[in-house]
Amino acid sequence: MEFKQGDRVRIEKNGTAYEGKVMPSMEGYITIKMNSGYNAGFSKDRVKVTLLGGNGETPNGGSLNGGKKSGAAGEELPKSGRKLQKIAILSTGGTIASKIDYRTGAVTSQFTADDILAAIPELKEIADFKGRVISSILSENMDSESWQNLARAVVEEIEAGADGIIVTHGTDTMMYTAAALSFMIETPVPIVLVGSQRSADRPSSDNAMNAICAARVATSDIAEVSVVMHGTTSDDFCEIHRGTKVRKMHTSRRDAFKSINSLPIGTVDYSTGEIKTFIDYTRRGERSLKFKPGIEPKCALVKFTPGADPEILDCYINGGYKGLVLEGTGLGHVSTKWTPKIRKATEAKMPVIITSQCLNGRVCDRVYDTGRDMLKAGAIEGEDTLPETALVKLMWVLGQTDEFDEAIKMMKEDLSGEITECCFK
Ligand code: ASP
């Protein structure tokens, strides 16, 4: 069936019909923009295509500039003739790379970076992409070794000349990976983590908009590790969150990611691509590339609950753990019964960092006697650091030094935007 870009077509696949306008498509694929505004990509040989109306102007199946070569070195240039920035897209898995497996009914990670690029043709107009598969796992299966492998690949791509990096990632643990990359890599270019809450085969999928906004940030001058995801439940803009200040705050909403104790770095308008920034950020080229991958995996984040047995801490203190982050109540408290265990940990040269279950606000252990007792026992306040970020920071800090005093000093410093300045100190 002959069709052109801009034609209206009906595509039938596995008994379901999809209608929309033909978009620029990769060789072997047909991509349409559906009435809902979402794009869907199909492998041409697996679908039946019926032409509904022919308004197309350019031939289908070609490259974005109609397959023409231009430029002195013969490199392929986009329509505008502008040379595009080089962006490496590293896929790790997660919903953004998933579809429903109809044998089991479960969502599984099946797409690679190249599949994502083929399915979202608008990306090709924003940058010159190179796809690389790091893993195909759901992010609940990530661990500190996965963070190191990913960080190594990111650094290799920057060393090879990438102007920006996109990491496609599961949303569940994206904030941990974002924090890990923030501490491990001092970056001269943007490193953007992106995911989706709904898989590509669901009509309300957020994958295309999030990926397109991520590409805008990867080509911007925001040279930080950031998370780019839907800003609202509509398809209007994405928010750009600092990698150490972001948290998934909803199980299923498309705007699940929020900056905590900070404004987002900015927003990206989906339709215009315009980026607005709200806080200061590190600009492209301000820093040179540095990579410190050391991580100490034997650290734990322990949530205090009323009546919790202090012996829980013995499992860690006697179990070879090297550091603890406590998620305390309110301003950062645990029961007085926990204080001797905190002392036992710090006397064994295990840093103990206090964070709060409130998430919003700053820890202050100098108001109530429970807090003062914790400080006397050697615990330190995590300020306004998120508990998960404090854990990743502690793992990284203990991967850099074995010295207790040095580790405590580093934990008190703002290393990558995780601690915001306090107004009353
Ligand atoms: N469980 C999935 C993951 O984190 C959820 C997602 O990607 O949204 O990989």
Closest to 416 in 3D by CA, of 120, 233, 186: 186
Tokens 């996109």 locate to 166
pLDDT per residue as tens digits for the range 337-395: 999 999 999 999 999 999 999 999 999 888 888 888 999 999 999 999 999 999 999 99
pLDDT band at residue 419 using 50, 70 and 90 as cut-offs: very high
- DSSP-derived pairing of the beta strands 352-356 and 237-242: unpaired
Rounded-to-integer distance, Cα 149 and Cα 135, Å = 10
| pLDDT confidence of residue 26 | 59
CATH code of the domain in which 223 resides: 3.40.50.1170
In a domain, 69, yes or no: no
**Same domain, residue pair 165 and 99:** yes
pLDDT per residue as tens digits for the range 226-256: 999 999 999 899 999 999 999 999 999 999 9
Which atom, in ligand 1's list, is nearest to the CA of 109?
A: 9
Rounded-to-integer distance, Cα 275 and Cα 286, Å = 19
In a domain, 418, yes or no: no
Domain that holds residue 221: 75-291
**Same domain, residue pair 368 and 276:** no
Tokens 């199946």 locate to 61
In a domain, 120, yes or no: yes
**Same domain, residue pair 109 and 258:** yes
Secondary structure in 3-state letters for the chain = CCCEECCEEEEEECCEEEEEEEECCCCCEEEEEECCCCEEEEEHHHCEEEEEECCCCEECCCCCCCCCCCCCCCCCCCCCCCCCCEEEEEECCCHHHEEECCCCCCEEECCCHHHHHHHCCCHHHHCEEEEEECCCCCHHHCCHHHHHHHHHHHHHHHHCCCCEEEEECCCCCHHHHHHHHHHHEECCCCEEEECCCCCCCCCCCCHHHHHHHHHHHHCCCECCEEEEEECCCCCCEEEEEECCCEEECCCCCCCCEEECCCCCCEEEECCCCCEEECCCCCECCCCCCEECCCCCCCEEEEECCCCCCCCHHHHHHCCCCCEEEEEEECCCECCHHHHHHHHHHHHCCCCEEEEECCCCCCCCCCCCHHHHHHHHCCCEECCCCCHHHHHHHHHHHHHHCCCHHHHHHHHHCCCCCCCCCCCCC
CATH code of the domain in which 22 resides: 2.30.30.520
CA of 84 to the centre of ligand 1 (A): 31
**Same domain, residue pair 120 and 237:** yes
| pLDDT confidence of residue 47 | 87
For a ligand 1 pocket test, name from 95, 146, 252 the mutation site with the most ligand atoms within 8 angstroms of its C-beta: 95
pLDDT per residue as tens digits for the range 214-224: 999 999 999 99
CATH code of the domain in which 389 resides: 3.40.50.40
CA of 385 to the centre of ligand 1 (A): 24
In a domain, 66, yes or no: no
pLDDT band at residue 406 using 50, 70 and 90 as cut-offs: very high
| pLDDT confidence of residue 424 | 52
Rounded-to-integer distance, Cα 357 and Cα 329, Å = 6
**Same domain, residue pair 281 and 311:** no
**Same domain, residue pair 220 and 365:** no
Closest to 108 in 3D by CA, of 133, 137, 142: 137
In a domain, 161, yes or no: yes
| pLDDT confidence of residue 266 | 97
Residue 22, ligand 1, Cβ within 6 A: no
248 token code pair: 């998934």
**Nearest residue (CA) to ligand 1, atom 7:** 170
251 token code pair: 């199980």
Among residues 291, 324, 345, the one where a domain terminates is 291
Residue 95, ligand 1, Cβ within 6 A: yes
**Same domain, residue pair 46 and 87:** no
Q: What is the mean pLDDT of the chain?
A: 87
In a domain, 1, yes or no: no
Q: Mind telling me the catalytic residues?
A: 95, 171-172, 248
CA of 197 to the centre of ligand 1 (A): 7
**Same domain, residue pair 28 and 151:** no
**Same domain, residue pair 250 and 395:** no
Domain count across the chain:
3
Strand partners, 39: 33
Q: Are 255 and 233 in contact (CB under 8 A)?
A: yes
Between the alpha carbon of residue 145 and those of residues 151, 224, 303, 363, the distances in Å are 10, 22, 24, 30
**Same domain, residue pair 138 and 204:** yes
pLDDT per residue as tens digits for the range 90-143: 999 888 877 666 567 676 666 777 887 788 888 888 999 999 999 989 999 999
For a ligand 1 pocket test, name from 96, 110, 134, 140 the mutation site with the most ligand atoms within 8 angstroms of its C-beta: 140
**Same domain, residue pair 194 and 279:** yes
In a domain, 425, yes or no: no
Q: What percent of the chain has pLDDT over 70?
A: 87
Least confident of 114-128, 154-168, 261-275: 114-128
In a domain, 95, yes or no: yes
Query: 119 vs 302, which has greater pLDDT?
Result: 302
**Same domain, residue pair 20 and 88:** no
